[in-house]
Amino acid sequence: MPSFSGVIPPVVSPMLVPDQIDGPAVGRIVQHLISGGVSGLFVLGTTGEGPSLTYQMRYDMVELTCEAAAGRVPIFVGVTDTCLAESIALAEHAARCQAAAIVAAAPFYFGVSQQELETWFASLATASPLPLMLYNMPSCVGVVLDPGMVDSLSHHPNIIGIKDSGGDMAYFENLCERHRHRNDFVIFMGPEERLATAVALGAAGGVCGGANLFPHVYTSLYKAATRGDHTAIAEGELLIRRVFETVYYDDDGQMKLIPGLKMAMHEIGLCRPVVAPPLSPVTEQHASRIRSALPLLTESSR
């Protein structure tokens, strides 16, 4: 069973229009990320707007990303869905495209018990031709994956780890402590500003949205965390805070991570600032602030 570590960005899904993937932009983004030293690519996650895309767009994004990566880094494919059969079908497509693993958050809409969730994840893992990484994302799916259930699932032969984006550090530390001596079950941090802390707690790495813009900043921060270089960690975290302030948050202090990130990537020639409904593009005020901040952010990232 493969084991993974490092920075694995949740790749944005570039679009020509809200219902069509921009193929050439996928190639540019993949090259940008690999050149920045990332350890893998995670498509169709939250930052990739996976649940908002048509099924054809999801299949296209997987195929285009795998083609552009050409085996240079492993590809992780988000298969989160309310329908188990659709998750399995996308996993099978990912396997045909030579992806390395799938990632799934809990199915949303219906309220279900932890036992029902365990059955759902185990069924997906058993049917999937690729190994499964669990995804704890309570803010989006409305349920926390119980650590005891995660423990149980961690012994499934086709489940390899968990990405935690819950934001509860006590929960994350509990996960790390429970699996500290395992080499067959890895734990990844979602919130990028906590990457260094997560590594110190025993995490294998992070799934950092901002790496779409400045991949080398996050890969350097991960390496600094692994060697305990507190000066380099502080420098990396300061830049990440500036990205939050200027790119992610709008003028009213509201989080607009995906639209802001796509606008910043548009400004450096990677993709259009198009987002899929129900998201909307940044305001002109926010776009202007991003344009003003990018030269300083870029200079600071070098």
Average pLDDT over residues 230-255: 95
pLDDT for position 3 = 72
% of the chain with per-residue pLDDT over 90 = 95
What Rg value do the Cα atoms of the chain yield, rounded?
A: 18
Q: Rounded to whole angstroms, how far apart are CA atoms 255 and 268?
A: 21
The predicted-structure confidence for 126-145, as pLDDT tens digits, reads as follows 999 999 999 999 999 999 99
* Tens digits of residue pLDDT in 105-125: 999 999 999 999 999 999 999
- Please give the pLDDT value at position 181: 87
| Dist. CA 229–CA 236, nearest whole Å | 11
Q: Is there a domain that residue 116 lies in?
A: yes
The position carrying tokens 């070098």 is: 302
What is the pLDDT, as a whole number, of residue 86? 98
What's the domain range around 112? Answer: 6-214
In a domain, 26, yes or no: yes
- Asked whether residue 219 is domain-assigned, the answer is no
Tokens of 108: 């949303």
Q: Could you tell me how far CA 216 lies from the centroid of its own chain?
A: 16
Q: Are 219 and 7 in contact (CB under 8 A)?
A: yes
Nearest alpha carbon to residue 165 among 146, 148, 140: 140
**Per-residue pLDDT at 26 exceeds 70:** yes
Give the mean pLDDT of 287-298: 94
Please report the pLDDT score of residue 81 as a whole number: 97
d(CA 247, CA 28): 20
pLDDT digits (tens, 9 = 90+) for 137-177: 999 999 999 999 999 999 999 999 999 999 999 999 999 99
Q: Are strands 20-21 and 15-17 parallel, antiparallel or unpaired?
A: antiparallel
| Mean pLDDT computed over 245-250 | 95
Buried-state track 59-72, b at ≥16 Cβ within 10 A, e below 16: bbbbbbbbebbeee
Q: Which amino acid is it at 154?
A: S
Average pLDDT over residues 290-296: 93
How high is the mean pLDDT of the chain?
96
Q: What mean pLDDT do residues 41-64 have?
A: 98
Q: 209-222, pLDDT tens digit by residue?
A: 999 999 999 999 99
| Three-state DSSP state, 187 | strand
Starting at the edge strand found earlier in the chain, the sheet holding 205-206 runs 6-7, 205-206, 186-189, 159-164, 132-136, 101-105, 75-78, 41-43
In this structure, is residue 254 part of a structural domain?
no
CATH number at residue 49: 3.20.20.70
- 290 within domain boundaries: no
What per-residue confidence (pLDDT) applies to 265? 98
CB 188 within 8 A of CB 164: yes
Ranking 6-10, 269-273, 293-297 by mean pLDDT, the lowest is: 293-297
> In the prediction, which pLDDT does 302 show?
81
Burial class (CB in 10 A: 0-12, 13-18, 19+), 250: middle
Count of domains observed in the chain: 1
In a domain, 226, yes or no: no
Instruction: Name the nearest CA neighbour of 210 among 13, 2, 8.
Output: 8
Q: Residue 24 domain-assigned?
A: yes
Residue 1, pLDDT above cutoff 60: no
Parallel/antiparallel/unpaired status of strands 20-21 and 6-7: unpaired
Assess if residue 180 is contained within a domain: yes
